[in-house]
Amino acid sequence: MAQKKAHEVDSFVARPSGAFPLVLIYGPDKGLVAERAALFAKNTGVALDDPFSTIRMEAADVENDPARLGDEAKTVSLFGGGRLIWIRNAGAQKKLADTVKWLLAENTLQQTWLLIEAGDLKKTAPLRTVVEQGRNGMALPCYSDDARAIDQLIDQILGEFDMRISLDARKFLRDCLGGDRLASRGELEKLCFYAKGRDMIGVEDIAAIISDVSALSYDEVIDAVIGGNPAALDSGFDRQLAGGASLFSILSAAQRQFQQLQQMRFIMDGEGKTASAVVAASRPPVFFRRQKLVEQALGLWSGARLEQALSRLHMAVLESRQNAALAASIIRQHLLALCIETSRQKTR
């Protein structure tokens, strides 16, 4: 199979091989996919600012007009040199996979690179299968950064700014990064600009400036729910919608939070541990600013109530999908009900 292990991808991207003119870069970390695709494109040596040498296409365009990709692949540069066809946002498009299969079988790519960016593809995804089985295609997976990769990224960005970081701050920073490479890079650069001129970046600098990008964060909404603050929930929900947040992402974040509370509560009841001990040992770690709030929520919500809360959230998913036009109102109503339940528990 023509594919690389996750730890082998960077070395391949740094030195593109003419034996594999068709490269598929895919994975759940969209930022890392985009970063590696841009680096690969640069390392091909093709003039990226020349519209005759670099052809940029969307996967949907190929799906609508597969012949265009075939024509571009067979086109030879009028002025010599290589060409690059760069396709973004690939996924389950069948016609794209069929066209790629034909290109590989016919060995059509001569002096032309074909670079495809895709999201998370299963092993059975047609596009991934076609590239992995092709003789001159290479599939490169991109998964969320592990601790070692995050440390390397931290060292790289801090090195560019000629800055240092304390051990405690590095550990704290590592826990906040990793969900998306470009988001992590952006947060690190923001931190360096904020702490510019200081001898050492400390925990307080990170707490003041950096976001938790280890996952999409809707903390203002979720914290209002488990904190029993209806007014904060209402305003936070409006801000998320105004900022273009996905309704179902907000709902998924609420489900994850209550699932985490349920797991913690199970440990508390089964092992007799305190809320603070369970929160401190939680993996993934709870952001330190939220630890007290989560501890309080564990004291308010019993295991039975948490099960009921998760059932309500599941109901919110079903109802909002059945009535897409009213999804915002439905989700807001269910979250508000949980928020009010929390508030009532606090007054008892």
pLDDT digit string, tens, across residues 229-267 = 999 999 889 888 876 777 887 888 899 899 999 999 999
pLDDT digit string, tens, across residues 323-343 = 888 999 999 999 999 999 999
274 band by pLDDT with thresholds 50, 70 and 90: very high
Mean pLDDT of 112-118: 93
Q: Is the pLDDT of residue 211 over 50?
A: yes
The Cα 118–Cα 18 span in angstroms is: 21
Note the pLDDT of residue 79.
Answer: 63
Q: Is the pLDDT of residue 142 over 60?
A: yes
The residue written with tokens 């066809």 in the block is 85
Tell me whether the CATH fold assigned to 6-141 matches the one assigned to 219-347.
no
Q: Does domain 219-347 have CATH number 1.10.287.70?
A: no
Among 111-120, 137-146, 183-192, 214-223, the range with the most confident prediction by mean pLDDT is 111-120
Residue 7 per-residue DSSP state? G
Note the pLDDT of residue 241.
Answer: 82
CA distances (Å), origin 301, targets 14, 112, 198, 342, 343: 52, 60, 44, 8, 11
Q: Which of 240, 261, 262 is nearest to 249 (CA)?
A: 240
Q: Which two tokens stand for residue 265?
A: 């509560």
Query: Cβ distance 236 to 332 under 8 Å?
Result: no
Query: Cβ distance 313 to 251 under 8 Å?
Result: yes
pLDDT digit string, tens, across residues 40-94 = 999 999 989 888 899 999 998 888 898 999 888 888 766 667 899 999 989 888 9
Question: How many residues comprise the chain?
Answer: 348
Q: What is the CATH number of domain 147-209?
A: 1.10.8.60
Domain residue ranges of the chain, discontinuous segments joined by +? 6-141, 147-209, 219-347
Note the pLDDT of residue 336.
Answer: 95
The Cα 346–Cα 247 span in angstroms is: 28
Angle at 233 between CA 305 and CA 280, to 5 degrees: 60
The residue written with tokens 């809360």 in the block is 309
Note the pLDDT of residue 117.
Answer: 93
Note the pLDDT of residue 249.
Answer: 79
Mean pLDDT of 87-108: 88
Q: Which two tokens stand for residue 154?
A: 């931290």
204 band by pLDDT with thresholds 50, 70 and 90: confident
**Architecture of 6-141 per CATH?**
3-Layer(aba) Sandwich (3.40)
Note the pLDDT of residue 313.
Answer: 93
More confident residue, 336 or 197: 336
User: How many Cβ atoms sit within 10 Å of the Cβ of residue 257?
Assistant: 22
Query: Cβ distance 247 to 211 under 8 Å?
Result: no
What are the residues whose beta carbons fall under 8 Å from the beta carbon of 49, sequence distance 6 or more?
Answer: none
The Cα 137–Cα 240 span in angstroms is: 41
What are the residues whose beta carbons fall under 8 Å from the beta carbon of 165, sequence distance 6 or more?
Answer: 154, 158, 173, 200, 201, 202
The average confidence (pLDDT) of the chain is 86
Q: Is the pLDDT of residue 173 over 50?
A: yes
Mean pLDDT of 147-153: 82
The Cα 320–Cα 257 span in angstroms is: 19
Query: Cβ distance 90 to 118 under 8 Å?
Result: yes
More confident residue, 39 or 18: 39
pLDDT digit string, tens, across residues 282-332 = 876 777 778 899 999 999 999 999 999 999 999 999 998 898 889 999 999
Q: Is the pLDDT of residue 216 over 50?
A: no
What are the residues whose beta carbons fall under 8 Å from the beta carbon of 5, sequence distance 6 or more?
Answer: 141
Task: Count Cα neighbours of 279 within 13 Å in the Cβ-side half-sphere.
Answer: 19
Query: Cβ distance 334 to 315 under 8 Å?
Result: yes
Q: Is the pLDDT of residue 1 over 60?
A: no
Backbone angles phi, psi at 119, to 5 degrees: -80, -155
